Structures are given as C-alpha cells and as structure tokens.
Amino acid sequence: MPALELEKSNEEFALAAADLIDRQGLAIGTYRDRDTGCYCTLGAFRMLVFGSIMYKDEPKTGESSNRYYNLVSWFSNLVKDEADRDLSPSSIIANWNDARDKETVVAKLREAGAA
C-alpha cells in the first residue's frame, strides 16, 4: 500500500485509517496481524504515512517521521483520559485501541476525521 501524501491533514489521515481498519479489521496488541491482515490504529497510521508498519522499511526522512509523530500526538489528545497523563502519545493510542472493538475504533477515527 503506498503512503498517502504527507500534506494530508490529520483529519484526512484519520478517515483513511478508519477506512483501512473497517476494511481489514482491527488488530489488538500488534501493529498488523500477519495472519488476518488487521491493523491497529498505530499500524494504520504507520502504513498510511510510511507505506509500511516496520521501522526498517521507513523512509529515513525527517519529513515523514515528523508527519507521523504529529499525527500520533494529535490523535492521542483526542483519546486520552486522566489515567493516561504520564504515558507517551503512542502508548495512549495503543492502550485505547486495545481496550476497544473495531466499531468503536472506526467510529472515533471517523469522528476525528469529521472535526
């Protein structure tokens, strides 16, 4: 899957992640389930920004890494709660994702994309 253009807004990435998870399924505890093809929220974001979920396959450009971390920071602020205040943005999203079902994750991504 080719990466989206880095100029896309956070909202556009959220909608694309919602579509990807809706189509492929929701992974829990991993970026992407190799057997089922499902993605977690962070895995979907990585696939859309980098074109891959693996660090070794990332383009080594500051632009793509900065875009990814901006997206993760933005979305973590939408899903964090008081208990998450000391966690990293990635951990906030991972914990949030892993405690929800596919429909809830897709709905939140679509809500974020519509804002």
Residues above pLDDT 90, as percent of the chain = 70
21-69 pLDDT tens trace: 999 999 999 999 999 999 999 999 999 998 888 755 555 567 888 899 9
pTM: 0.89
Over residues 93-111, mean pLDDT: 97
Interatomic CA distance for residues 43 and 98, integer angstroms: 12
Whether 78 and 21 have beta carbons less than 8 Å apart is answered as no
Structure tokens at 95: 């914990």
Contact residues for 9 (Cβ-Cβ < 8 A; gap 6+): none
